[in-house]
Every structure is written in C-alpha cells, then in structure tokens.
Amino acid sequence: MGGTRRVANDPLRRQRILDAALAVIAERGVHGTSHRGIAAEAGVPLGSLTYYFDSLDAIFEQAFQQLADSMSEHYRTALTQAGDVAEACLAVTDLICGDQYASARELTLLHEMYAYANHSKAVAETCAQWLGRSRASLSQHFPDRAARAIDALIEGWPMHQAWEHEPLDRELVRATITAIAQRFA
C-alpha cells in the first residue's frame, strides 16, 4: 500500500503553542524562553512553531496580545456589571484586591510583557491598546482624569503587593478609589 501519509490537521495547535509560550514565560521569563521550551510545553514538534510563527518574537507578540485581550475582558466585564459609580468603585477594589483580575501567574506575565514592550514596538502597541481599552471600560462610570488615575492604581497596586508579600488593605484601596472618583466627578 503506497501513497502519501496523511496526518490529521490539528486546528488547536496554534493556540496550544501560544498557551505554552505564556506558561514558559511565566516560569522562566522571556529571557529563558526558547522555541524548544515552548514546543516541549505544547507537546508539539519543534517545526510546528516555525510553521505557525515567523520567529520567537512573533510568538511573544501574539502571546502577549492574547494576555492583554484576556485581561481586558476581565476588566470590561467587572465594570460593565457595575450599575453606578459606587458599584464601580467596589468593582475596581475587587480588581485590585482580588485574584480575579490578576493572579500571581498573570502578574508575572504582566511584568514580563511590560519589560519586553521596552524592546518591541509591537508589544508596546499592544500595551497602548490595552490602556485604551481599560480607560474605555472605566469611562463607563468615571470621567477621563479619574479613569486615568484609577487605571494606574489598578496596574500599580497589585505589582507593589507582589513584591511586598502582604495582603492589600482593602479599605485603603476602596477609600482611595472613592476619593479619586469624588474628586474628579
């Protein structure tokens, strides 16, 4: 029996590669991530990476885009569900103090994305677009100046907490968000 060997198409392979890239980046950092590491994590042949992506940079760009999109969706959902400014302040407090917005793994990935954005125009653009989406979500309830200040706190407070290894003071976070909302109302 001769003929061409046929291999079943794997429509999820590209997504598995991106998911594996994020897993490896979270574990080893961008600097420790390689084609081989991603392929091993994804359980795919090494050649699959170059079939779907032009370079390791392209994998990083698309993986970080996926991360930003996912994080934006959490953000948008939390703020869309808020009925008024008071509920939006509580939703923002939950984003900052809870792990629904950014788990320890996601915070690690965010640090890696921000650092990589300093050397990648594509990832810097992904970060800029993410800021725009975040502010648009916040603008459902807060004026522009308040949205900018609150957005910075949503990013910064969990990062500080990651290095301080102490729980955030939920009441301080809520009071700060509320004060900003009232100041710029």
- pLDDT tens for 45-91 read 999 999 999 999 999 999 999 999 999 998 899 999 999 999 999 99
- Nearest CA to 68 among 156, 159, 140, 132? 132
Do 21 and 89 fall into the same domain?
no
Which alpha helices (H) appear in 118-167, and where do they start and end? 121-138, 144-164
Do 43 and 60 fall into the same domain?
no
Q: Which residue has the tokens 């080893």?
A: 28
- pLDDT tens for residues 7-30? 446 789 999 999 999 999 999 999
| 6 vs 47, more confident | 47
Amino acid making up residue 181: A
Amino acid making up residue 24: V
- pLDDT tens for residues 96-119? 987 666 788 998 999 999 999 999
Do 28 and 118 fall into the same domain?
no
Do 46 and 107 fall into the same domain?
no
- Look at residue 98 and tell me if it is in a domain: yes
Tell me how far apart the alpha carbons of residues 161 and 179 are, in angstroms, rounded to a whole number.
21
**Number of domains within the chain:** 2
Can you give the pLDDT at residue 185?
85
Do 142 and 154 fall into the same domain?
yes
- Look at residue 3 and tell me if it is in a domain: no
Residues 6+ apart with CB under 8 A from 161: 167, 168
Do 81 and 171 fall into the same domain?
yes
Can you give the pLDDT at residue 53?
96
- Look at residue 4 and tell me if it is in a domain: no
What predicted TM-score, i.e. pTM, was given to this entire model? 0.88
- pLDDT tens for residues 154-168? 988 888 887 888 888
- Look at residue 119 and tell me if it is in a domain: yes
Question: CATH number, domain at 132?
Answer: 1.10.357.10
Structural domain harbouring 24: 10-53
Do 144 and 100 fall into the same domain?
yes
Do 69 and 118 fall into the same domain?
yes
Do 24 and 68 fall into the same domain?
no
> What is the CA angle 55-50-116, rounded to 5?
25
